[in-house]
Chains A and B, each alone.
Chain A
Amino acid sequence: MWEYTDKVKEHFMNPRNVGEIKDANAVGEVGSLSCGDALKLMLKVDEKEIIVDAKFQTFGCASAIASSSALTEMVKGLPLTEAEKITNEEIADFLGGLPKEKMHCSVMGREALEAAVANYRGVPVPVAEGEVVCECFGVTDLEVKRAIEESHLRSVEDITNFTKAGGGCGKCLDRLQEILDEVTGSAKSRIIPMKGPARMTTIQKIKKIEDVLEREIRPALRNDGGDIELIDVDGDMVIVALRGACGGCSRSTTTLKEYVEKTLREQVLDTLVVEEER
């Protein structure tokens, strides 16, 4: 079962503004039955371009219904130019957050809003253009690029969570990775370069290794009647001696590599190699 916030549950059980506006002058329809969710957003915009009424009809899961309800509450009373700026993140935030697998429901809300605004202005919906990447869900490359940029997506899985692209047959996953690389590659120059692997002096290393040995590794080995001693640190090479029951144990190499080395790599430096003293 999904972990929904109380606000999501509340908006799902008691959705606001369900229904139709007969004289709506801004209507946005997105999604389809085959996609598993769809939203029809209807707005009434007055002559001062203020949204005086908003209603919706939604086919979909709890988070799709809650996102639609939230969206109508958010836009009511707003000037169109303000409403336009609402992002999917803001819809999700209004609900106290959505599970990340359900973020596409908030994206659907934003898309419906854009479609409604475009409908009001009599212009084509902007993201309907572009080349379809995901055939299962009819997602275009422009939509994918936009989601990557706006929501700072960093993996293909994120893209699927936000746009549904790649969530069907999976044929487009490679293409999604390419688009991701394209977008984030071009973004790289703008991002402050990450610090390379931390440099540590040997003394610092020894101290940190001793800390981890004492705090985590020794207690675990002692449980099995064993012990470990740090003999030397030479560059990335960590020389240790296994004592007690571990000494003659046939599984000692496994313990060293699978447990000691892994733990030290995680907590000290990921290039460390642990060897047993000969």
Chain B
Amino acid sequence: MNDVIYMDNNATTKVAPDVLAAMLPYFSELYGNPSSMHRFGGQVGRALVKAREQVAELLGADTEEIIFTSCGTESDSTAILSAVRANPDKHHIVTTRVEHPAVKNLATSLRNLTGHKYRVTSLGVDNEGMLDLDEYRKALSDDTAIVSVMWANNETGVIFPIAEMAAMAKEEGILFHTDAVQAVGKIPINLRELEVNFLSLSGHKLHAPKGVGVLYVKKGTPYAPFMIGGHQERGRRGGTENTASIVGLGKACELAGAWMSLENSKVRKLRDKLEEGLLASIPNSILNGHKTSRLPNTCNISFEYIEGEAILLHMDQYNICASSGSACTSGSLEPSHVMRAMGVPFTAAHGSIRFSLSVFNTEDEVDLVLEKMPAIIAGLREMSPFWQNRDKG
């Protein structure tokens, strides 16, 4: 069996060796509490200062704007609930139909919050997964407490025009949050130039460990903490810091800055080779998502007339890891909400496979996937009652 061919980096990433090395001392000898008065804890506190600088540097932010959290989901919850509390008289939130559950389900839960009759506008997307900015502008109102729009979609990699959208919200005096969990490290971000009030990121999507995240809060943005407790994070997020993971996340951000050009050269090239190869060698395969307004690492392809779980399990025989928007893999009975929002027909939605690459992938791996996929797809189609009858409708 070959080594694992990991093309599921939008699900989670490998901890980079340098990140692990940076973290290890904080699991052993450097176990002090960064809040302690003694020098022993103090040195850990200094490591957090450095990590905060590394994160701020990658985002084009100031260190006081960085709050460490436990994950992307916590950052999303904190941002949205904070804006809700800061605007007790507003009862409307604007978001999209393709958000990650961390935003989508939170927005839905707001509808049911007792005492608040929240309205949620979920903007639709077109066949390529893009938003209509006119529709967005019309959705903004005096009653809107916050806009929450993801920077890049986890399933398709489609990038939304965050700079423009944030500016439009600012004009109306509305707070703007972006879930940038998939974007950070893959595309350049400079928050100093943007009217973004809140930005969420998650460590495990950029080669730091799971269970650590960041919420960026622009200076001057009204803020109410979600985790209330000690004075950590200047009272904005209680709880003794996850020191090792924060140090790891700092290192990962430093690496991401250094690797940014690789993402957009090497990774993009590999992705393009994979994508073009698959589309060319496999009939009835369709790219999901906008061709160019897209992350350099992601490619989502539907193989018509077959089902995603079956494809993934065959790929698994070759140790190839990817994921699917099919019903069967999600545990629900319907294809993913992103595929449905894009209006991907049922013939294709159940057979959608997402490949998401990282700087650790190689050309040999792409070649192996290109070699194995056509037979997997053909084999399953051979078995599908719809394949032979496809033209009869």
Contact = CB atoms under 8 A, between A and B. Distances in A.
Interface in A31-66: 33-34, 36-40, 57-62, 64-65
Interface centre among B306, B331, B350 (most CB of A within 10 A): B350
Interface in B295-342: 305-310, 313-314, 317, 326-329, 331-335
Interface stretch (A11-19, A234-242, A257-265): A11-19
A164 B334 CA distance: 10
Interface string A146-187: 000000000000001000100110000000000000000000
Contacts of B307: 36-37, 59-61, 64
Interface residues of A, number: 29
Contact of B334 (A2, A9, A167): A167
A86 B308 CA distance: 29
B384 interface: yes
Interface in B35-59: none
Nearest to B317: A13
Given A33-B350, A36-B327, A18 B305 contact: no
B313 A160 contact: no
Contacts of B317: 13
B334 A33 contact: no
B175 to A, nearest CB: 32
Contact of B346 (A18, A33, A61, A137): A33
Contacts of A59: 305-307, 383-386
A99 to B, nearest CB: 9
A101 B385 CA distance: 23
Contact of A136 (B309, B329, B334, B350): B334
**How big is the B interface, by class?**
20 to 34
Contact of A61 (B310, B384, B386): B310
Interface centre among B332, B346, B383 (most CB of A within 10 A): B383
A141 interface: no
Contacts of A114: none
Contacts of A65: 310, 383
Interface string B340-365: 00000011001000000000000000
A29 interface: yes
A164 B385 contact: no
B328 A167 contact: no
Given A18-B382, A33-B346, A38-B385, A60 B310 contact: yes
Given A59-B384, A60-B310, A36 B305 contact: no
A62 B384 contact: no
A38 B386 contact: yes
Nearest to A105: B328
Given A58-B385, A61-B328, A34 B346 contact: yes
Contacts of A36: 307, 326-328, 333-335, 346, 350
B333 A62 contact: no
A12 B331 contact: no
A37 B309 CA distance: 11
B310 A62 contact: yes
A167 B334 CA distance: 7
Interface string B370-389: 00000000000011111000
Contacts of A39: 385
Contacts of A60: 307, 310, 328
Which 4 residue pairs across A and B have the least CB separation, nearest first? A167-B333, A61-B328, A57-B385, A61-B309
Given A36-B328, A59-B385, 6 more contacts: A2-B309, A36-B346, A59-B307, A61-B326, A160-B333, A167-B333
Interface of B: 305-310, 313-314, 317, 326-329, 331-335, 346-347, 350, 382-386
15 contacts: A12-B313, A18-B382, A33-B305, A33-B347, A36-B334, A36-B335, A36-B346, A59-B386, A60-B310, A61-B326, A61-B328, A61-B329, A65-B383, A167-B332, A168-B333
